[in-house]
Amino acid sequence: MKGQVMRRFSSFIDGQWVEPVAPVGILPVDDPSTGELIGEIAECGPGDVEAAVAAARRAFEGPWGRLSVRDRARALTDLASALESRFDELVPEMIADTGATARFCPMLQVGAPMAHLRDFADMAHLLERPEAFPVDTLPGFGQWELHREPVGVVGAFTPYNFPLFMCVWKVAPALLAGNTVVLKPSPLTPVGPEALARAVLEAGIPPGVINIVHGDRVAGEALVAHPGVDLISFTGSTAVGTRVMAAAAAGAKEVILELGGKSPALVLPDADVELAVRGTIFSSMMHAGQACVATTRMLVPDERYDEIVELVAQRAAALRLGPAADFGTDVGPVISDAARVRVEKLIAAATERGARVLVGGDGLGDVPAGGHYVAPTVLVDLDNDNPAAREEIFAPVLSVIRYRGVEEGIRIANDTPYGLAAAVWGRDLRRAREVALRIRGGLTWINDVAQADVARTPLSGRGMSGVGAENGRDGLLAYTKVRSLYTALDADLDARAYGVVGSDWD
C-alpha cells in the first residue's frame, strides 16, 4: 500500500457517513491473499449505537412505517438495481476484501445478493392481506383476522464470510416486513456493507431505515443491550451466538440465530462415487471452507472406503491454492492470520489424536508470503471423537470417517451438537430419502450440495446450530408479530355469554 491513500470505512447512520463520537479503537482491514492493508475502521462505541437506534426508531415511526408492502418491495428492487450498477467495480473490491476467488466471487459474493433482494421483494404477497376465517361455532357469528405487523427495530449481526450476501439475508426480509435495521457487520470485511449503504442512498431509501455501525465487541454488546432494539438477528459462531442470546434475554428480545455446523456427507454403499466425491470436495473447499453449511465430515462405507479415499486424494491434491484474484485459483486464503493459526492448531490436535493427513498439511506451494493460506487438507483414519470431526474448523479441511452399516452411518452423522445441514449420496432415491429424513439438520440435500431457494426454502438449524429460521416464508414471518383481530358480525345480545356475570341485569 506504499504511496496509496488508506481507505477509511465510515459508519452509516441516519442516511449519512459518520465517524464515531468517541472511537473505541482503530481496526486494520487487509487483503487475505497478500496481507497488505486495504483500509481501516474506527470502532463505534455505545454513543454511536444510541444514535443509530434512535435514527432507526424515527424511521420506523415515520416515513418507512407509512409505506405499503408493495412500496417496500419496490424499494428492495431499487436497492438491487443500485447494487447492480456497480457490479463490475464491486467484484475486484470484494475479492480483495473477502479472499473469495475470482471464479467464485462474482456469482455468490456479488451477484447472489442482488438476485435475493428481488426474490424477497417477490414475497410481498405473503404480507399484503390478513389471513381471515369466519367463526360460527357460537349462537352468534363473527370473523377472525390474523395480521402480520413489523416487530420494530432490528439489530442485525453479519459474519465475514459472505458480507454483502448476509446483509441482504437480514435487511431484505426485515424491511419488507416494515422494520428498520441497525447492522453490525464483521469488521474484517467492510466493503460489502459499505456498498449496501451507497446503494441505499442511490435507491432513495429514507434516512434511518438502514444504519451500519462498525466495530467489534463494544459496539455489539451495546446493540444487543439497547432497550430500543426489538429483535436480534445474528449469524456467526455458536460461541458468540449463545452469549448474544443470553444478553438479549435480559431485555426479553426476540432472537434469530444462525450459528455453526459440522455437517455430514453420508455416502451410501450404492452411491455414484465420482459424484459424491466431487460434491463433497466442492462443499468443503469452496471459499476456503468458510461456509456454515459446508459438509466437512464425509462418512464412507467400510466396503468402499479404500476406493473413495483414493479418489478423494486424487481430486483434492489437484486443487490449486493461490491468491484470490488469480482466475486459476481453486482455493484461496482464509480470512485472517489469526484464523490460519487457529486452523493449524486444530489440524495438529487432530493428528495427535490419531488422524492422518492424506492431502495438504504444511506444503503451501507458490503463494504470496503475507497471505493467510491453509492448504486444502484431507484427514483420514479418524473417528467421530476426533477434534477435526467435532469442531467447526471453517477452513478447507475435510475429515473422512469410516462407518460399518448404514445404521452406524446415521448414528455418526447425528453424533454432533450441531444440526445445520447434511448431504446424502445414493442411487436408490427412496432409500436415500429415508436416510436423509433421519439425519438431524434443517437443510438436507440428496445427491447434491449448496442448493438453496431463498424465496421458498428456510434454513433452520437444530441443536447448537441456531434458533428460528432464515429465508423462505418462515424466515420472512420471523420478522413480524401476529395480531389476532376478532370482529363480531351480529348484534344479538342474547347470543353472548355476558350473562354469566350479570344474571340480574334487565
Task: Provide the percentage of residues in the chain whose pLDDT is more than 90.
Answer: 87
Calculate the alpha carbon distances from 197 to 151, 190, 287 in Å.
Answer: 22, 11, 25
- Extract the C-alpha cell encoding 278: 466431487
- Extract the C-alpha cell encoding 307: 476406493
CA atoms of 116 and 127, how far apart (whole Å): 18
CA atoms of 295 and 421, how far apart (whole Å): 7
Span 339-378, pLDDT tens digits: 999 999 999 999 999 999 999 977 777 898 999 999 999 9
Helix (H/G/I), strand (E/B), else coil: 95? helix
pLDDT of residue 362: 73
- Extract the C-alpha cell encoding 350: 487432530
Which residues lie below 8 Å from residue 383, measured CB to CB, with a gap of 6+? 354, 389, 401
| Residue where the block lists cell 486444530 | 346
pLDDT of residue 257: 97
- Which of 340, 428, 323, 284 has the alpha carbon at shortest distance from 103? 323
Calculate the alpha carbon distances from 167 to 210, 302, 307, 378, 491 in Å.
Answer: 10, 43, 42, 32, 51
Average pLDDT estimate for 279-289: 98
Is the domain covering 263-446 a CATH 3.40.309.10 domain?
yes
Domain pair 7-259+461-484 / 263-446, same fold: no
Task: Provide the percentage of residues in the chain whose pLDDT is more than 70.
Answer: 98
Amino acid at 41: I
- Extract the C-alpha cell encoding 442: 434443517
Using alpha carbons only, how large is the chain's radius of gyration in Å?
25
Span 90-125, pLDDT tens digits: 999 999 999 999 999 999 999 999 999 999 999 999
Q: 7-259+461-484 in CATH: which number? A: 3.40.605.10
Average pLDDT estimate for 443-468: 92
Average pLDDT estimate for 81-98: 97
Span 35-57, pLDDT tens digits: 999 999 999 999 999 999 999 99
Q: Is the pLDDT of residue 139 over 60?
A: no
Active site residues: 258, 292
At 1, the pLDDT band (50, 70, 90 cuts) reads: very low
Helix, strand, coil percentages in the chain from 3-state DSSP, rounded to 5? 40, 20, 40
Phi/psi for 266 (5° steps) reads -90, 110
Amino acid at 87: F
pLDDT of residue 138: 54
CA atoms of 18 and 215, how far apart (whole Å): 13
At 241, the pLDDT band (50, 70, 90 cuts) reads: very high
pLDDT of residue 137: 56
Beta strands in 393-434 (DSSP E): 397-403, 421-425
Span 443-455, pLDDT tens digits: 999 999 999 887 7
Amino acid at 467: V
132: left (phi over 0), alpha (psi -120 to 50) or beta: beta
- Which of 410, 406, 377, 384 has the alpha carbon at shortest distance from 302? 406
What count of other Cβ atoms lies within 10 Å of the Cβ of residue 9? 23
The CA-CA-CA angle for residues 243, 467, 13, to 5°, reads 65
| Residue where the block lists cell 450441531 | 418
Average pLDDT estimate for 295-299: 98
CB 82 within 8 A of CB 256: no
What is the β-pairing status of strands 26-30 and 37-42? antiparallel
CB 322 within 8 A of CB 278: no
Calculate the alpha carbon distances from 447 to 291, 296, 345, 397, 432 in Å.
Answer: 19, 16, 33, 21, 9
**Across all residues in the chain, what is the average pLDDT?**
94
Would you kindly state where each structural domain of the chain is located, as residue ranges? 7-259+461-484, 263-446
Output the furthest CA–CA distance in the chain (Å, rounded): 95
The CA-CA-CA angle for residues 342, 156, 213, to 5°, reads 85
CA atoms of 370 and 34, how far apart (whole Å): 5
CB 261 within 8 A of CB 418: yes
pLDDT of residue 140: 61
Dihedral over Cα of 405, 408, 414, 415: its sign:
negative
The CA-CA-CA angle for residues 230, 236, 238, to 5°, reads 100
CA atoms of 154 and 171, how far apart (whole Å): 9
Q: Is the pLDDT of residue 4 over 70?
A: no
Q: Is the pLDDT of residue 134 over 80?
A: no
Calculate the alpha carbon distances from 310 to 273, 307, 314, 363 in Å.
Answer: 11, 5, 6, 20
Span 405-425, pLDDT tens digits: 999 999 999 999 999 999 999
At 5, the pLDDT band (50, 70, 90 cuts) reads: low
* DSSP tag of 248: H
Q: Is the pLDDT of residue 274 over 50?
A: yes
pLDDT of residue 186: 98
